[in-house]
Structure 1
């Protein structure tokens, strides 16, 4: 099975950074359905139901997911008793102002949520510098639970180029894992 899996990326973005990051992930995956959780429709819920993979995307605000994304998670949890997302591939991505910015706690929250929904979590697998000096900037934070990015000081760019490249790699990994999971 070589067809492109349907990857849904529900996201909340305060200032546009998370959307830019989600777009790069979708690009790396060969496409994806970006769903703005502040504008979610019944058609979007249907897309989530049909998706082969769901990547949760929230900025990290004060050490956790943004309240706007939390509302989406709570709405989705209403479906929990039936486990409609059971055995779907899951992953997470986040962006914050600081290089650490306590983004790990956001990814942990998303991974636990996915586990409670019966999903299969896939993390980051890129090793950049300093281990591989020929890959400067790739997975610069050394995050393996999910994708971490730092908002760019250049607001015309939103997210630094090396983080966007890491996002494309993450999207490709999610697509490959989803294809593999669907074949088994």
Structure 2
């Protein structure tokens, strides 16, 4: 089954996290600003769709909201019903109100009849060997903060968290396809 990631990334931060998730789960990336009719067909036939956008002023940017509004046309015919779903968001600050952006994606997925898969990685200090993993402590979806290091878009730990989330989504999709979801 196809695992798709749709994202909006004006500064490159969200794209970097999308790429990490895709690498972990062998997913196909779609920038919401360049979707073609063929891309919409792929999304309609996908087994999993993970959504990502930066958090702007505590919510989703208008470009990503426009994607959601167009995708909502599929609701009437149940085209995205029972697909696996998930989300991720980036922001300048560690908190950055990213939870609100994730909740908007979650509510959209729920209204579409999708099945949400959250993040499960626990970082330090709870799991000391996971230093840098899930530093925001987000389980609804994956979040990342802009790095303060020169030339680095996101912290390595946030990218690794995304990679692990991609692997989790792929494993969930494989179990879903086999009817082996506990």
Distance 1:32 1:121 in 2: 17
Structure 2 counterpart of 1:108, from 103, 106, 113? 103
Q: Paired residue for 1:87?
A: 82
Distance 2:58 2:150 in 1: 22
Q: Paired residue for 2:158?
A: 163
State yes or no: 1:70 paired with 2:65.
yes
Structure 1 length as normaliser, TM-score? 0.95
Q: Paired residue for 1:20?
A: 16
Q: Give me the CA root mean square deviation.
A: 0.9
State yes or no: 1:54 paired with 2:49.
yes
Distance 1:25 1:155 in 2: 23
3-state SS, counterpart of residue 87 of structure 2:
strand
Length, aligned pairs only? 179
Shift of 1:155: 5.3
Q: Which runs of 4+ in 1 moved over 6 A?
A: none
3-state SS, counterpart of residue 82 of structure 2:
coil
Q: Paired residue for 1:119?
A: 114
Gaps of at least 5 residues in structure 2 are none
Q: Paired residue for 1:33?
A: 28
Shift of 1:172: 0.4
State yes or no: 1:143 paired with 2:124.
no
Distance 1:75 1:141 in 2: 31
Distance 1:168 1:61 in 2: 24
3-state SS, counterpart of residue 129 of structure 2:
coil
Structure 2 length as normaliser, TM-score? 0.96
